Structure 1
Amino acid sequence: MPIIYKNFRDDTYYLHSKLTTKGNTTYYFSKEAEGAAELDQVPSGYEIYENPNGNVYMRKEQKPVIQPEEINVINNGMIKYSEIKDFKLDIKKNAIFIYTVDPSISNGSIPKQLLHKYKQYATDLRFVLVDKEERIFEVERFCYKGGIDDWIFLDQSNDLEKLVQDYIQHLGKDSFYELM
């Protein structure tokens, strides 16, 4: 029986496998059922990963660096301090990215019943763990000035709650672009 995964858009993905030229097995997801791998479970050492825009991948298991309570601080901060209610957190190695929906899409340009199929998430703010022992985080925002197009440092602290309170409130507002 093939491994099947449904993403948040209700698209169905099937796990496939193939041999590389070196003879190793590689895994990938496809919307095509034909040729799907006959596996009982996800291969040992791998996990299914869905990115914020619904793309599905098989990847090697990630060793958690960010603690669940730190993720909760950011999630709860979004609920408490931000006007944005449609968001996703994506943890990659030592960083927590906050993804939000383009407001022009969610403000009526797409019929509500189709919104889940077409909305796109983008990230403008992230919290990066820079010291594992002291649990020091940097907060960074994405900069769109000319040739920069990169993350810029805003602040650093071992008080994640304070960083969240100080910076999440600016997401989706003009004040966000004044943060330096």
Structure 2
Amino acid sequence: MVKVKGEVQMPVIYKNFRNDAYFLHSKLTKKGTTTYHFSKDAKGAADLNQIPEGYEIYENPNGRVFLRKEQKPVIHKEEISVINDGMKKYSEIEDFKLDIKKNVVFIYTVEDLYFNSSIPKQLLQQTKNYATELRFVLVDKEERAFEVERFNYSGSVDDWIFLDGSNDLEALVQEYVQHLGKDSFYDLM
């Protein structure tokens, strides 16, 4: 804590989905600019009581916390809702996260080893990891056309492979999210 003109100034603290506290730190570079990062260590936390202007907190699907420059949205909120609602309606997977990076919406699901586990629920919350195997890529901003891709684990090339494309995002979501967590997912080509 820092005292500023008689009042106590608290560092910026963010709690992730695992309920871990992250403290904002700052560092002056050799060039004289300030860089920021989050750490679980409170010692040396920045003397800031708010997020610096032009920055935002980003929590990745596995709970790591970052301070990044504000991102201008490319994917519309309505399109994110179509994917989120489609997962709830067409997929059997209940524990998922969407991660939006520029023109891509990644669907993260809990890794397989946790599905049939006898780990107590509270401990599971602290240890589960998310992985992505399906994503929707905005390929035409004017037409709002998307491609759906799945991750390919076959052989020497681990990479994203094209499945389908359309400007009807809802149809793509309905067609493909139903396969997540099923053997039929690996038949998609």
Q: Settle same-fold status: TM greater than 0.5.
A: yes
Q: What is the aligned partner in structure 2 of residue 138 from structure 1? A: 147
Structure 2 counterpart of 1:85, which letter? E
Tell me by how many angstroms 1:107 deviates: 2.2
Q: Is 1:50 matched up with 2:55? A: no
Task: Give distance in 2, aligned partners of 1:39 and 1:84.
Answer: 40
- Structure 2, unpaired ranges of 5+: 1-9
Tell me by how many angstroms 1:105 deviates: 1.1
Task: Give distance in 1, aligned partners of 2:162 and 2:172.
Answer: 12
Q: What is the aligned partner in structure 2 of residue 110 from structure 1? A: 119
Tell me by how many angstroms 1:147 deviates: 1.1
- The TM-score with structure 2 as length reference comes to 0.93
Q: Do the aligned residues in 2 keep the contact of 1:106 with 1:119 (CA within 8 Å)?
A: no
Percent of counterpart pairs with the same letter?
75
Structure 1 counterpart of 2:16, which letter? N
Task: Give distance in 2, aligned partners of 1:40 and 1:33.
Answer: 14
Moved over 6 A (4+): none
The structure with more radius of gyration: 2
- The TM-score with structure 1 as length reference comes to 0.98
What is the Cα-based RMSD across aligned positions, in Å? 0.8
Q: Do the aligned residues in 2 keep the contact of 1:47 with 1:59 (CA within 8 Å)?
A: yes
Structure 2 counterpart of 1:83, which letter? E
Task: Give distance in 1, aligned partners of 2:132 and 2:117.
Answer: 21
Q: Is 1:90 matched up with 2:99? A: yes
Q: Is 1:61 matched up with 2:62? A: no
Task: Give distance in 1, aligned partners of 2:174 and 2:152.
Answer: 21
Q: Do the aligned residues in 2 keep the contact of 1:2 with 1:36 (CA within 8 Å)?
A: yes
Q: What is the aligned partner in structure 1 of residue 173 from structure 2? A: 164
Task: Give distance in 1, aligned partners of 2:52 and 2:119.
Answer: 39
Which of 134, 139, 150 is the aligned partner of 2:159?
150
In the TM superposition, what are the counterparts of 1:72-91 in structure 2 within 5 Å? 72-91=81-100
Q: Is 1:33 matched up with 2:42? A: yes
Q: Do the aligned residues in 2 keep the contact of 1:88 with 1:99 (CA within 8 Å)?
A: yes
